[in-house]
Structure formats: structure tokens, C-alpha cells
Amino acid sequence: MKSRTQRSIIVVVLTLVVGTLLLLFFLQRPGLVLVLRDQQTGKVLASIPVEEGEQLTYRWIHSAEFIPWIEEFTIQKDGSFRLNTIKVAGFGAGIPENKGVTSVKDGMVVMEQLDQVFGKIRWIHSQTALTSITVGDTIFITGEDVPHHIPVELTIEGVGTIWPRYPLTK
């Protein structure tokens, strides 16, 4: 009788373990996640699921020239950012003058075919300089969404893991 009870307990435990593992497997959302993190604390400030090939657009105002600056990246399968295009409303301090193929379109200097790859993007955040970071047509963050003058880091993470969407913190 004791042996039968022990076998029943073992079967129940194994069933629970296998069931839990199957549940975790089916709850996984394999894919990439764009993550904005405080560099000093490691705290996740915002995250959003993304896909390989999606366009990430970083819009900001140049701090010395006060002109719009737009950078367009493609999200890569390996978790990197491929810089394809820079659009700037003029030239001045810190603006590259010999990148890729340069033309003027709609009043903006456009540098295309840049093909530069970045594993992460780091900056000291400015609520007044950053206009927005978007993925496709979705606004990921605006300048006001993140505390002023903190060092932040933008990465792509989470391949094949369960990754919750973090709300923005203000």
C-alpha cells in the first residue's frame, strides 16, 4: 500500500513539473525587446517588443545649432542597431560632413547608405533635446518620459525569453 501511495505522489509531482515546463514553453514570446535602461542603476525605464527589420527612428534637436536631427536605424536579428540614414536641417558643430551618400531632400541634408552597426546606444538624456524615439509608427519614448540628465542605454534584448512590457517611469 505504501509503495502505491509513493508512486502516486511521484506521478503527481512529475505531472506538475512537466505541466509547468510546458506552460512556460507556450507562454514564451520569442523575439526581440527594445530596452531603455538607466546606466548607473540598471533599472529598466521602458521596454517594448520589436522585430528584426523594424525601423527605429531617433529624433532630437541639436544642442548647439538647435536644428532637427533624425537618425534611422534597422533592428537586427542579433540585437544590434544598423544606422542607415541621418537627416539634419543644416550643418554645424558635431555634424558629420562626409558620411555615406549625401543629398538634400525636403530642406534636410540626408546622409544615406551609412551601414554603421551599434550594439547599444548610450547618451546623457535631455528632456529638451530628445523629441522622440519611435519603432515603426509607435512612439517608444519622448524626451519628457525619462528623467533629465541621467545616463541611459538603449539595447535590444530578450531573444526567446519571457519579457514583460515595462511602463515608462517619470
In which order are the strands placed within the sheet that holds 44-50? 44-50, 32-38, 151-157, 121-124
DSSP bridge partners of 123 = 152
Q: Provide the pLDDT confidence category of residue 37 given band limits of 50, 70 and 90.
A: very high
Domain map (residue ranges) of the chain: 1-30, 31-157
Query: CA–CA separation, 133 vs 166, rounded Å?
Result: 16
Three-state secondary-structure class, residue 16: helix
Predicted TM-score (pTM) of this structure: 0.74
Q: Provide the pLDDT confidence category of residue 3 given band limits of 50, 70 and 90.
A: confident
The owner of cell 517594448 is 48
How confident is the model at residue 26, as a pLDDT? 52
For a pLDDT cut of 70, what percent of the chain falls above it? 79
Residues 55-63 have a mean pLDDT of: 93
| Beta pairing class for 44-50 and 116-118 | unpaired
How many other CB atoms are there within 10 angstroms of residue 119's CB atom? 11
How confident is the model at residue 6, as a pLDDT? 77
How confident is the model at residue 9, as a pLDDT? 77
Q: Provide the pLDDT confidence category of residue 13 given band limits of 50, 70 and 90.
A: low
Q: Output the average pLDDT for the chain.
A: 84
Q: For the ranges 58-72, 76-90, 95-109, which has the lowest average pLDDT?
A: 95-109
